Amino acid sequence: MSDEGGRFAMPFDVLDVTDPQQAIDPIVALLRKEAVQRVIIGLPLNMDDGSIGPAARSVVLWSGRLAMKVVIPILYIDERLSSFQAEQDLIDQQRAGQHLTRGMKKDRLDAQAAAVFLQEFLDGKLQPIELG
């Protein structure tokens, strides 16, 4: 999530679901509760050439189902390397003395990775990906 002014991204929460479809209704409720103006979705492009592969197609299909339930813009952002940066951030936190269990690290890694690419978008470093 970002602050109200859209300047700072911060990890918010991680939904623990076995089927991504189970996440849609809780996300829709959160979007409404927080009066979210737009949704930024990380697109896992192929590392070698930035093309859209099976994982990215799955994300686009899922987000299409989300789009049917909301009336706000949904934008796609290249999420490559966001997990690497998030991992580095967590290592820095551990070096600073913060204790993280393996389970806590996994959840925080996902939330931190989302915050990383959202912050890069807010800073103008990442542009929305046009799908066509």
Q: Which amino acid is at 96?
A: A
pLDDT value at residue 11: 86
- Which CA distances in Å does 82 have to 26, 33, 54? 24, 27, 19
Look at domain 20-122 and name its CATH class.
alpha beta
Is residue 82 exposed (0-12), middle (13-18) or buried (19+ Cβ within 10 Å)?
buried
Nearest to 70 by CA among 15, 23, 32: 32
Coil, helix or strand at residue 65? helix
pTM for this predicted structure? 0.80
Predicted confidence at residue 82, as pLDDT, reads 67
Average pLDDT in the chain = 87
Residues 6+ apart with CB under 8 A from 96: none
CB-facing half-sphere around the CA of 94: CA atoms within 13 A: 13
Distance of CA 78 to the CA centre of its chain: 10
Q: How would residue 81 be classed by pLDDT, with cut points 50, 70 and 90?
A: low
In this prediction, residues 89-106 reach a mean pLDDT of 73
Band (pLDDT 50/70/90 cuts) for residue 90 is low
Instruction: Give tens-digit pLDDT for 11-60.
Output: 888 888 889 899 999 999 999 999 999 999 999 888 889 889 999 999 99
pLDDT at res. 84: 65
More confident: 132 or 75: 75
What percent of the chain is modeled with pLDDT above 90? 53
